[in-house]
Amino acid sequence: MKEDKMNDMQATPSLAGRVAIITGGGQGIGRVFAKGFAAAGAKVGIVELNEEKGQSVATEVDQQSGPGTAISIQADVADPAAVEAAVAAVANKFGRLDIAINNAAIFSTLKMRGFEEIPFDEWSAVMRVNVDGVMLVSKACVPLMRAQKHGRIINISSGVVTMGRPFYLHYVTSKAAVVGMTRAMAREVGTDGITVNAILPGATFTEVERETVSAEQKSQILNMQCIKRHETPEDLLASALYLASDGGGFVTGQSIAIDGGTTFR
């Protein structure tokens, strides 16, 4: 009986008493993480550029896990002042901040094209959100985590980094920067009880439409995987919960590929 209970605890890490901030939490992977982290006992701050989508997910979380479990804050993660205000709002609402999920990114709206055809404005926008946003959110969260000698930063990178996928050079470059940032940041904050890790998803299919992905491309993706089904955000959740939990407290600076066996690192 005791062994069964222990197995249950290990299978579903508890985040009771913890507070998580999730960027890009209004859809896709962020939405699933917000609901999953709340189900594991955490309070959740959803930071989302689209105010309506962010509030909709906060309402979903409250309906699932109880009133007052989530708040939504409209903010652009590439805006330093907006990020500082959003992090402060979450900490003030729930009294602490333990977990930062850097999930916000520009991807689904990007068109496949050779790198010499990418407009510089588009390149810059991707870098601002996908790279600057990770740094700014982490920078705002670390002082709070450092003060309590506990913190978990989980950065969502991408499996395209190891694949060297063509025709998305700005996106691939931005997600490679996230891996490097994860490793360097882990070295800086480890003595403060803060871990920093990256998750590298494969091609993850969500409710977010991607017009540039054809049926043929979806078939090619499946052929590359060892596990022959499409990846969903739920496939990423258990690993994120582990990294955010006490059980993941000795794991830092790592990049974990969760892609059905598309890449071997």
The predicted pLDDT at position 11 comes to 60
The mean pLDDT value for 86-111 works out to 96
Beta strands in the chain (DSSP E): 19-23, 43-48, 70-74, 99-102, 151-156, 194-201, 255-258
Q: What whole-number distance in Å separates Cα of residue 126 and Cα of residue 120?
A: 10
The dihedral sign for the CA sequence 123, 197, 135, 26: positive
Q: What is the pLDDT of residues 33-87, one digit of tens each?
A: 999 999 999 999 999 999 999 999 999 999 999 999 999 999 999 999 999 999 9
Tracing tokens 């891996």 back to the chain, one arrives at 179
Catalytic residue numbers, as ranges: 171
More confident residue, 58 or 214: 58
Helices (H), 49-94: 51-65, 80-94
Q: Look up residue 124 and give its amino acid.
A: S
The number of residues making up the chain comes to 265
Q: What whole-number distance in Å separates Cα of residue 47 and Cα of residue 23?
A: 5
- SS3 of 104, please? coil
The mean pLDDT value for 163-181 works out to 95
User: Mind giving me the DSSP string for 228-260?
Assistant: -S-B-THHHHHHHHHHHSGGGTT--S-EEEEST
Indicate whether 204 pLDDT > 90. Answer: no
Q: Look up residue 144 and give its amino acid.
A: L
For residue 114, the Cα-to-chain-centroid distance in whole angstroms is 27
Supply the mean pLDDT for the chain: 92
Asked whether 166 and 118 are in contact (CB, 8 A), the reply is: no
For residue 191, the Cα-to-chain-centroid distance in whole angstroms is 23
Domains along the chain with CATH numbers? 15-258 (3.40.50.720)
Residue 8: band (very low, low, confident or very high) from pLDDT cuts 50, 70, 90 = very low
Strand partners for 155? 102, 198
The dihedral sign for the CA sequence 35, 36, 39, 43: negative
Indicate whether 5 pLDDT > 60. Answer: no
Q: Look up residue 31 and give its amino acid.
A: R
- In this structure, what token pair is assigned to residue 41? 């006992």
The predicted pLDDT at position 208 comes to 73
Name the pTM for this structure.
Answer: 0.92
Residue 6: band (very low, low, confident or very high) from pLDDT cuts 50, 70, 90 = very low
Indicate whether 10 pLDDT > 70. Answer: no
Angle, CA of 132, 38 and 75, to the nearest 5°: 30
Nearest to 194 by CA among 237, 242, 248: 248
